[in-house]
Structure 1
């Protein structure tokens, strides 16, 4: 299997030099174990709770399990959500010893938010998020798009992508194992992945009583990707009450299958929307669950729009996690039906306002909501408006307004 460079590797190494314990989280099979094991040396110890004997030892005596490691080593514990009782044991150890890099724990769930976890480890734990591979990681480039975008210095990659290439990347997704596959085999891999997650991991941790309802819900949420969260509408065709649906969606968020992008609300404008926007965390999984084919994007603008916007979300989220600067991701909608797909805010409060188009052309009118937003709501900040599209030219459309090919997101 190809060994892709991971953007989070340097952040992980840095965290281990400054924090007593570090948790590396992300969905199953996104590459956490591969990354963690690269840090294993002769003086470090690696234990995976996927191994039944190891898990039973951890359950039998969590305190002995975490204390039994080579002196001065980093103990790497894989899939820690399987034995939540290890967290209080880790807390006890790091409370007695403030040496950095004592533990690297990985989890396929946002373990600190699970109902089975009572220990916060606040102030003792560094947290690193690993996602499925971004296109930048696949291409071997660095996470520089946001920095270049704020400077308005856009570049195309050496190997350029046309619309068909982008569609293939969408169906491929970012799970390392799925990258080796194609067509029906890849689609089946994604479906099997979700089924296994629901029947085993989710059921073990989140007490999912109706697995068939959960499977139906995942497919509904895949179709809902890039839309605003509305539990009543999401659940209209499902045989579950609102409370159950809300808990199931929270479980899927905890296991990094779906994510929510919050509304930008830094204004007193009273017609501002407040709903979060829902996204699937991987476009390969999304298209597989929905049974879509690349040919569907030829004459179905709605499908193409959802898929391209979700794809851009995945690239932005990966870069924001890994970037040297601090960036914050939002979206905008108001009651007058003005929408901006993504707002990326920098620490200095300057903004990128990003719209996504699945087509190969851009018109001046495509910037109208961005122009209104910057002229009416954020006059004291610089707003750079960008239409990310499937065309091939970097084009200026006025002051701080640009049409930018999507593949510029992974150019260096």
Structure 2
């Protein structure tokens, strides 16, 4: 429909392969990892790809040392590497025989176990790159932000020819994810309970976590709940946005905020089917907030994300930190957004290098001296674009 849409992660991945013997491309299932890898391999021309879900491809690794020897001067790409968790020790031995950059590209869908395995076995030998579903900066101007917000960034959902096809794909993804990906983590919970948890999380979008209350609703222990939330984080479905640790003369909220990371999956779980449904839904503001936060975090890969809320309700939706630098954001679903007094008070205390309000406006404008209102595309642009609003 739109042809191949370039991904921002491709340049990051190419740089990683130029400096490290192996690169691990992580991201949720169906977000485009294989497509990106095939594009990169086609441009290089000196590569071999094995899909570890394919029995014949797995058979080629029956004698891994012989396979590596035969392809030592090519980039070897192993897709769905989480299916062979014990393979990292073999990779370590092969890399130590020849530590040239760009020898292995590994693709995986579950970050927790993979990160642990790669850190333990390939420390100092592997670079990690995360691929998200499509970002607005990747699809604009071919696709409007309204469509990306409604359908989410998974390619099959976003690029579907009709809204009904997009909805059906997301429903299938939710069933497959719960029935296969979560089941593969062996958490020992029945499928209906996992589905109930996910739907509860959709209704808690943008709220601070009350672990004891949520555990009570599910009849689970708090420790069990935390394990489930960690599993959803490791599979890139959930973001727990931590509170900022700041020395302010106010009592601060200490619990993380919860966001389902893909807005399209969130909308399916909330029963939202059209853009009009979305605008009329009571959680439209929270959905918009989560959507924009994902764009901003992806645009600032070396910045640590937080939120800040005082006991009196003053809040900054997103605070990005890098060393001693800070950028703060308020997110409003309004064409005529207004800033609260609490926002100004917190900006005055934190003294960030940039303070912005992200809203569904067409062009940037200065709402107060030094504070800019920006459209969503600038929220998802590069660091330079985000740091330099246009009047």
TM-score band, normalised by shorter chain: 0.7 to 0.9
Q: 2:42 aligned with 1:67, yes or no?
A: no
* Superposed CA offset, 1:358-409 (max 9, x none): 121123xx24223111323x2xx44432221123353323221122233433
- d(CA) in 1 for partners of 2:117, 2:178: 17
Q: Conserved in 1, the CA contact under 8 Å of 2:292 and 2:380?
A: no
C-alpha displacement at 1:101, in angstroms?
Answer: 1.2
Match of 2:47 in 1: 44
Q: Conserved in 2, the CA contact under 8 Å of 1:221 and 1:234?
A: no
Trace 1:264-303 onto structure 2 (pairs within 5 A): 264-267=244-247, 269=249, 271-293=251-273, 294-300=275-281, 302-303=282-283
Q: In structure 2, the residue corresponding to 1:259 is in which secondary structure?
A: strand
| Aligned with residue 317 of structure 1, among 279, 289, 297 | 297
* Superposed CA offset, 1:1-60 (max 9, x none): 5211100111110110111111000001111111111232542111011113334665x5
Match of 2:20 in 1: 19
C-alpha displacement at 1:80, in angstroms?
Answer: 0.4
Comparing 206-215 and 402-411, the one that deviates more: 402-411
Q: Conserved in 1, the CA contact under 8 Å of 2:81 and 2:107?
A: yes
Match of 1:84 in 2: 85
Identify if the C-alpha distance between structure 1 residues 65 and 271 changes in structure 2 by more than 3 Å, giving closer, same or farther.
farther
Match of 1:399 in 2: 369
| Aligned with residue 53 of structure 1, among 29, 47, 56 | 56
C-alpha displacement at 1:277, in angstroms?
Answer: 1.6
Match of 1:357 in 2: 332
Q: Conserved in 1, the CA contact under 8 Å of 2:22 and 2:125?
A: yes
Q: In structure 2, the residue corresponding to 1:64 is in which secondary structure?
A: helix
Q: In structure 2, the residue corresponding to 1:361 is in which secondary structure?
A: coil
Could you state the TM-score of these two structures normalised by the residue count of structure 1? 0.83
- d(CA) in 2 for partners of 1:66, 1:329: 42
Match of 1:369 in 2: 342
Could you state the TM-score of these two structures normalised by the residue count of structure 2? 0.88
Trace 1:3-18 onto structure 2 (pairs within 5 A): 3-18=4-19
Q: In structure 2, the residue corresponding to 1:8 is in which secondary structure?
A: helix
Trace 1:213-224 onto structure 2 (pairs within 5 A): 213-224=193-204
Q: Conserved in 2, the CA contact under 8 Å of 1:190 and 1:289?
A: no
* Superposed CA offset, 1:298-354 (max 9, x none): 444x41111110110121122123xxxx3222111122221110112344x332221
Q: Conserved in 2, the CA contact under 8 Å of 1:78 and 1:105?
A: yes
- d(CA) in 2 for partners of 1:65, 1:291: 52
Match of 1:176 in 2: 155
Identify if the C-alpha distance between structure 1 residues 118 and 390 changes in structure 2 by more than 3 Å, giving closer, same or farther.
closer
Bigger RCO (CA 8 Å, 6+ sep): 1
Q: In structure 1, the residue corresponding to 2:330 is in which secondary structure?
A: strand
Match of 1:151 in 2: none
Identify if the C-alpha distance between structure 1 residues 268 and 198 changes in structure 2 by more than 3 Å, giving closer, same or farther.
same
Match of 2:308 in 1: 332
- d(CA) in 2 for partners of 1:217, 1:361: 35
* Superposed CA offset, 1:129-186 (max 9, x none): 000000110116xxxxxxxxxxxxxxxxxx9x9xxx6543311211111122232321
- d(CA) in 2 for partners of 1:331, 1:274: 10
Q: How many residues align structurally?
A: 377
CA RMSD of aligned residues (A): 2.6
Q: In structure 2, the residue corresponding to 1:85 is in which secondary structure?
A: helix
Q: Conserved in 2, the CA contact under 8 Å of 1:383 and 1:400?
A: no
What are the ranges of 5 or more consecutive residues in structure 2 without an aligned counterpart? Answer: 386-391
| Aligned with residue 390 of structure 1, among 360, 369, 374 | 360
Q: In structure 1, the residue corresponding to 2:201 is in which secondary structure?
A: helix
